[in-house]
Chains A and B, each alone.
Chain A
C-alpha cells in the first residue's frame, strides 16, 4: 500500500497551479506537434528540452511528458481527416479512420480515437503503478532472440489481413525490406546499397516514406478524382462525442487485447508503432466484424489507437527503471533526466520518490486533461473538412514538405518525399497495399539486427529461437498467426467431416 501513499503525494505535487498550467501548455504544444507530420514527439521534446533547465525536475518532466501525450493524441487527427499519419504510430489508424471520415463520420472516428488513446494510457499507467518492479524484471528477459520473436509476430499477424491478394501484400512487404536494408549495416559496420551516394547513408527514413506514400499519394489521388474531398458531408454536431461513447463499450474485448499488446510492446521495448500494427492485425482476426475492417469500422480505429497509447505510456517504464528508452521520445527524456541530475536506473524509484510518483501522477492527470482538450476540439477538427480542397490541398502539401525537411534538416528528404509520393500513387492505382511496405520499412532493419545478433550469440544455430519458454511461445504464436488461414480452413473441414 506504500505505493498508494506515494501516488497521493504525487498527485499533491501535480495539482499545484504552476504544474497544472505547465501540463496544459504541454498538451497543447504536443497536439500541434502531433498534427504536423514529420515533427514527431521526439523532435518536439528535444526542441523544448532547454526550456526546462530552469525548472525543478518534477515540473520539467510533467511538461515534457505532457508534450508526449499531446503528440500521441494529435497523431490521429490528420490520419483520420486526410489519410496522412501525423506520427508513425497512427499509420494503422488511417486504415479505418479515413474511410469513416469519407463517409461523413469524422467526428465519430476522432472521438473513438481519442477515447481509446485515453483508455490505453490509463491501462498502462495503472500497470506501472501496481507492477513497476515486476515489469522491469520482465523487460530484462528480452535479449536479441526474444526481440526478434516479437518482430516476427508483428509481421506474421499482418500477412494476409488485407483485401488484396496475399502475393501483392508480400511483394509490397519485400519492397519495404529492400528499402530498409539501405544505409549502414549495423552488424558489420559497412555501408550497404548506397552506391556511393552520401545522401543515402541514413537509409530511407520511415517518416519520409510515410509522408510521401500516404500524404503526397493521397493528394495525387484526390486531384485525379476532381479536387473534391469525399468527407464534405460531415455533419458537425457537438453531441457526436456522447453518441460515440455509447457505442464504444461494445468493443471492450478489442480494447482489452489492444491494451495488453500495447503494454507488452512498450516494455519489451519495441515501441508504439509495431504495437498499433500488431493490434490492428489481431483485432481483424478475432473480431466478428473482421472481414469489414478497412471499410470504416470504428473497431479498426479503437484497436491501433489503444495499443499505441498503451505502448507509448508503458515505454517510459523501462526508461525510468532500467535506463533503456522504449521509444525515441523516451530517449530524449532520458537525456533530460541526466541533465536535471537524476540517474535513471533501478534505484530511481527508491531514491527519487517525489520525482517518480509526480511523473506517474501526471500521467493520470495529463491524459485526462489531454482527453478533455482534444474532445472539445472534435467539431472544430471535423470542420476542417468543409474547407475546399483547392485551399487545403496546397496547405497540406506545404506541411508535408516542412515535415519531411524537419526529420533530418535536409532538402534531399523533400525530394525523396515526392518520389515516395509518386510511388504511393502508382502502387495504389495497381492495388498494392501500402501498409505492409511501411511496416517493413519501420521494423525491417530492427528485425534484421535482432536476428543477426541472436545468431551471433548462438554461433549460427537457429535453435536459439526456441531455446526457452518465452521466445518459443512468441515464435509459436507467430507461426500460428502466419498460417491462421490454413488452420481455420482445416478446422471447418474437420467440423464438416464430423457433422
Chain B
C-alpha cells in the first residue's frame, strides 16, 4: 500500500475508534483489503461497503477493512489479484456470478478453486421488469408480445455481456423458441433508467437495482426467477409487496436463477484464518444494518460456510458451464 493510503486508513481507523480487542485465536494484524471484482456503485460494491461500514461501526475487527475495486476484464483483475496473493490472510474478495462467467467467457486462467470459500452472504434475486406504461401487464402478455414480434424486435437490456443477465435472456429465448436483441450496459442502475426512458423493452434487474423506480411507479415487475415467491411483505408500490410477484415458473417461463453474493479468501490460508472471517461475517449478518439491506434488496438470505458452501459453489460452476455452453458463450480455447 502506498503511504497516502496508509495515512487515510490510519485516520479512518482513529476516527472510527477501532480498538484492538484481546483474542486468543488468530486475528488480522494489519488492514484487510476487501476486493470488489466490479465497478463502484454496483450490487457487489454496495454490499462490500455496507460490510465495511458495519465492521467499522460495531468494532468487529481490530484493523480496518479497506474496499478496493478491481473491475478490469469483467472482474478478472480482482480474481487474478486473489490468485496471486496465495496464503495472504489479509485479503478478501466478494464475488458475484462473474466468478463463473468471466473465466468461462474470456479464458482468463482463474477458477474458484484458486480461492478459499469463506461464507455465502446472500443470494440475489432476478425479476423480469417492463415499463409501467407498457401494455404488457402479466408474464402471459409478455410471452405473447415476444412471440408476436418479429425475431430480434424485442430489446432486453442487461448488465455486461455473457454474464447473468444475458444467460437468463438466452434461457427465455430457448423456452419461447424465438430471438430477442440483448443490449449490454455498464451497470444495473443504468439498465433500469434505460427501461424507464423506453429505450429498451424489458430487463431482468436485481430487486435493489430497480426498487426505487418501482416505488415511483415507473416500472412494473412481472415475475421472479426463483422457485418460490420473495419473502418480503412490506408494501413497496401501492398495495404491492415483493411477495406479490409470482414466480416465472408458475407463469410459463420455466427458469430459475439466483446470483451468489459470497466472500472468498486466497488459497493456502489456515483453517483458523478462514474461521475468523466466517465468524466475523456471521456477526455482520446479525446487525440491524445488514437486516435492513436484506429487506431493501429482497435478498434470499441463505447463509453457508465451509464444506457445504464449497459444494454449492462446485455445483453452481458446473451449471454455469452448461448454461454458457448451450448459449455458445464459452471462450474459443
Complex CA distance for A338 and B294, rounded to whole angstroms:
12
Beta-carbon contact of A459 and B199 below 8 Å:
no
CB distance from A446 to the nearest CB of B (A): 9
Partner of A48, one of B12, B69, B163: B12
What chain A residues lie within 8 Å of B292 (beta carbons)? Answer: 341
Bitwise, B184-228 to A at CB < 8 A (1) or not (0) is 111001101110110110000000100111011010000000000
If A202-B73, A457-B181 touch, does A54 touch B213 (CB 8 Å cutoff)? no
If A51-B12, A323-B189 touch, does A189 touch B161 (CB 8 Å cutoff)? yes
Segment of A180-188, A259-267, A386-394 engaged in the interface with chain B: A180-188
Beta-carbon contact of A50 and B162 below 8 Å:
no
What chain B residues lie within 8 Å of A141 (beta carbons)? Answer: 197
Beta-carbon contact of B215 and A347 below 8 Å:
yes
Interface assignment of B52: CB less than 8 Å from any CB of chain A:
yes
CB distance from B108 to the nearest CB of A (A): 7
What chain A residues lie within 8 Å of B49 (beta carbons)? Answer: 49, 335-336, 339
CB distance from B188 to the nearest CB of A (A): 9
Partner of A50, one of B16, B208, B216: B16
Segment of A1-9, A105-113, A270-278, A404-412 engaged in the interface with chain B: A404-412
Bitwise, A334-376 to B at CB < 8 A (1) or not (0) is 1110110101111110000000000000000000000000000
Partner of B193, one of A39, A322, A343: A322
Beta-carbon contact of A406 and B4 below 8 Å:
yes
The number of A-B residue pairs with CB atoms under 8 Å apart is 180
CB distance from B153 to the nearest CB of A (A): 8
Interface assignment of A488: CB less than 8 Å from any CB of chain B:
no
Partner of A53, one of B9, B56, B152, B331: B56
Bitwise, A190-212 to B at CB < 8 A (1) or not (0) is 11000000100111000000000
Interface assignment of A46: CB less than 8 Å from any CB of chain B:
yes
Interface assignment of B135: CB less than 8 Å from any CB of chain A:
no
Least CB separation from A51: chain B residue: B15
Which B52-102 residues have a C-beta within 8 angstroms of A? 52-53, 56-57, 64, 66-70, 72-74, 76-77, 80
Partner of A183, one of B12, B69, B73: B73
Beta-carbon contact of A339 and B74 below 8 Å:
no
Least CB separation from B329: chain A residue: A189
Beta-carbon contact of A346 and B213 below 8 Å:
yes
CB distance from B139 to the nearest CB of A (A): 23
Beta-carbon contact of A191 and B15 below 8 Å:
no
Complex CA distance for A335 and B11, rounded to whole angstroms:
21
Segment of A159-167, A219-227, A325-333, A426-434 engaged in the interface with chain B: A325-333
Interface assignment of A47: CB less than 8 Å from any CB of chain B:
yes
CB distance from A283 to the nearest CB of B (A): 30
Interface assignment of A481: CB less than 8 Å from any CB of chain B:
no
Interface assignment of B106: CB less than 8 Å from any CB of chain A:
yes
Interface assignment of B105: CB less than 8 Å from any CB of chain A:
yes
Interface assignment of A36: CB less than 8 Å from any CB of chain B:
yes
Least CB separation from B181: chain A residue: A456
Beta-carbon contact of B41 and A189 below 8 Å:
no
If A202-B73, A325-B189, A457-B181 touch, does A347 touch B2 (CB 8 Å cutoff)? no
What chain B residues lie within 8 Å of A338 (beta carbons)? Answer: 46, 50, 208, 293, 296
A interface residue count range (under 10 / 10 to 19 / 20 to 34 / 35 or more): 35 or more
What chain A residues lie within 8 Å of B107 (beta carbons)? Answer: 191
CB distance from A24 to the nearest CB of B (A): 16
Q: Which of B41, B46, B153 has the most CB of A within 10 A?
A: B41
CB distance from A463 to the nearest CB of B (A): 16
Beta-carbon contact of A343 and B105 below 8 Å:
no
Partner of B16, one of A36, A39, A51, A325: A51
Bitwise, B283-308 to A at CB < 8 A (1) or not (0) is 00000010011001000000000000
Beta-carbon contact of B12 and A47 below 8 Å:
yes
Least CB separation from B196: chain A residue: A140
Complex CA distance for A346 and B109, rounded to whole angstroms:
43
Interface assignment of A11: CB less than 8 Å from any CB of chain B:
no
Which A28-52 residues have a C-beta within 8 angstroms of B? 36, 39, 42, 46-51
CB distance from A43 to the nearest CB of B (A): 9
Binding site for A on B (CB under 8 A): 1-5, 8-9, 11-12, 15-16, 39-41, 45-46, 49-50, 52-53, 56-57, 64, 66-70, 72-74, 76-77, 80, 105-109, 152-153, 155, 160-163, 166, 181-186, 189-190, 192-194, 196-197, 199-200, 208, 211-213, 215-216, 218, 289, 292-293, 296, 329, 331
The 3 A-B pairs at the shortest CB distance, nearest first, are namely A345-B212, A202-B72, A201-B73
